[in-house]
């Protein structure tokens, strides 16, 4: 039973990281809307251009857009760190199991 509770905790942690990833994706859409070269003019929904916004390709250079970009990168780093911490926790939980 105690091991099951730990895996429920890891599942909730993963859901929290997915919520943070969705927030980063929404920021990417806001950055695209502020960048003339990335604006979606087709009227057809498309995937977020995360690669362009992370690497600053065709992104508007104004201070507010760059601040949004830095915030998005921090959220993505938080997601990576969160999943690495979860993987380490799972490894430690499996290593201590009898």
**Which letter, b or e, does each residue of 65-77 get, where b requires 16 or more Cβ atoms within 10 Å of its Cβ?**
beebbeebeebbe
11 occurs within a structural domain = no
User: What span, in angstroms and rounded, lies between the C-alpha atoms of 17 and 34?
Assistant: 26
Q: Residue 19: inside a domain, yes or no?
A: no
53 assigned to some structural domain: yes
Instruction: Give the span between the Cα atoms of 78 and 76, in whole angstroms.
Output: 5
Q: Which structural domain range is residue 51 located in?
A: 28-40+47-88
pLDDT for position 20: 97
> Could you tell me if residue 71 is inside a domain?
yes
Asked if the structure places residue 66 within a domain, the reply is yes
Residue 6 lies in a domain: no
Question: How confident is residue 74, by pLDDT bands cut at 50, 70 and 90?
Answer: very high
Residue 1 binned pLDDT confidence (cut-offs 50, 70, 90): low
Domain count across the chain = 1
pTM metric for this prediction:
0.86
In a domain, 16, yes or no: no
Taking residue 44's Cβ as centre, other Cβ atoms within 10 Å add up to: 6
Q: Is residue 57 part of a domain?
A: yes
């Amino acid at each position: 039973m105690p091991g099951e509770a730990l895996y429920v905790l890891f599942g909730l942690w993963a859901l929290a990281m997915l919520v943070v990833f969705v927030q980063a994706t929404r920021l990417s859409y806001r950055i695209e809307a502020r960048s003339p070269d990335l604006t979606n003019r087709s009227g057809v929904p498309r995937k977020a251009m995360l690669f362009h916004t992370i690497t600053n390709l065709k992104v508007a250079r104004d201070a507010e857009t760059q601040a949004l970009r830095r915030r998005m990168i921090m959220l993505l780093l938080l997601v990576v760190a969160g999943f690495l911490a979860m993987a380490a926790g799972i490894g430690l939980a499996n290593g201590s199991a009898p």
